[in-house]
Amino acid sequence: MASLTIRNLRKSFGVVEVLKGVDLEANTGEFIALVGPSGCGKSTLLAMIAGLETVTSGEIYIGDRLVNSVQPKDRDIAMVFQSYALYPTMSVKENMAFGMESRGVPKAEQEKTIARVAALLQIEPFLKRKPGQLSGGQRQRVAMGRALVRDPALFLFDEPLSNLDAKLRVDMRTEIKKLHQRIGKTTIYVTHDQVEAMTLASRIAVMHQGEVQQFADPDTVYNRPANTFVAGFMGSPS
């Protein structure tokens, strides 16, 4: 079953068309990577799925629901950005509780959910700390925790590891992979790092100048690139 379907999606800012008819789909539980050079339209596409940017034309379905004009909070998605966007004055626990609180989840259930997710991400030791007292990697884990407690149908990540140093990126990549294997949530993961995409995703969409050049499994994209752009970007053997 498709958990996300995108059909002929276009986006213009003024006279500039930045998405030129994108088709994409994710099966339930699938991990899709969106890759491409800076400026190719990855973040715009993700923001449109999240409802943070309007649709110029085309359709976005989450499950079988057309969400083009559905408010972000009603889309059953959770998004993790590279800038962690945690509330600086709230503790880690309060950051995680915030979304549940505003949806009226009972306190006892909030506690249970936070305990479960904190254990999963191994962030129990710093539940009482403020984001400013955490390292970059810890903050990124908290940002993931805040997304996880919402138990959305769809996870959206926009270059979540790009602010971290090389060693931590590789560690976090492994963590994200394990996390996905455990919880099996449909994930759309934006990165400009083709190795990250190859490691994590079951399918990769390679974007260039507002168009998906190829959408296939990592082996196909790498070994049978659709064109010279894909071959160059993925570093395919020639």
Interface positions with ligand ADP (CB under 6 A): 13, 18, 36, 38-44
Task: Find the largest Cα–Cα distance for the chain.
Answer: 58
Residue 91 is given by DSSP the state -
Count the residues of the shown chain that bind Mg ion, applying the rule CB under 5 A: 1
Task: Tell the smallest beta-carbon distance from residue 99 to ligand ADP (Å).
Answer: 25
Instruction: Choose the stretch contacting Mg ion; rule: CB under 5 A; options: 40-48, 135-143, 147-155, 199-207.
Output: 40-48
Interaction of residue 95 with Mg ion, rule CB under 5 A: no
Task: Tell the smallest beta-carbon distance from residue 153 to ligand ADP (Å).
Answer: 23
Q: Are the C-beta atoms of 191 and 159 separated by less than 8 Å?
A: yes
Of 39 and 184, which has the nearer Cβ to ligand ADP? 39
Task: Tell the smallest beta-carbon distance from residue 194 to ligand ADP (Å).
Answer: 14
Paired tokens of 66: 């057309």
Interaction of residue 82 with Mg ion, rule CB under 5 A: no
Q: b/e string for 22-59 if b means 16 or more Cβ within 10 A?
A: bebbbeeebbbbbbbeeebbbbbbbbbbbbebebeebe
Give DSSP secondary structure letters for 79-141.
EE-SS----TTS-HHHHHHHHHHHTT--HHHHHHHHHHHHHHHT-GGGTTS-GGGS-HHHHHH
In whole angstroms, what is the distance from residue 152 CA to residue 140 CA? 18
Task: Tell the smallest beta-carbon distance from residue 13 to ligand ADP (Å).
Answer: 3
Find which of ligand ADP, Mg ion, none residue 39 binds, CB within 5 to 8 Å per kind.
Answer: ligand ADP
Cβ atoms within 10 A of the Cβ of 208, count?
19
Task: Tell the smallest beta-carbon distance from residue 20 to ligand ADP (Å).
Answer: 11
Find which of ligand ADP, Mg ion, none residue 77 binds, CB within 5 to 8 Å per kind.
Answer: none
Interaction of residue 44 with Mg ion, rule CB under 5 A: no
Interaction of residue 214 with Mg ion, rule CB under 5 A: no
- Site residues (vs Mg ion, CB under 5 A): 43
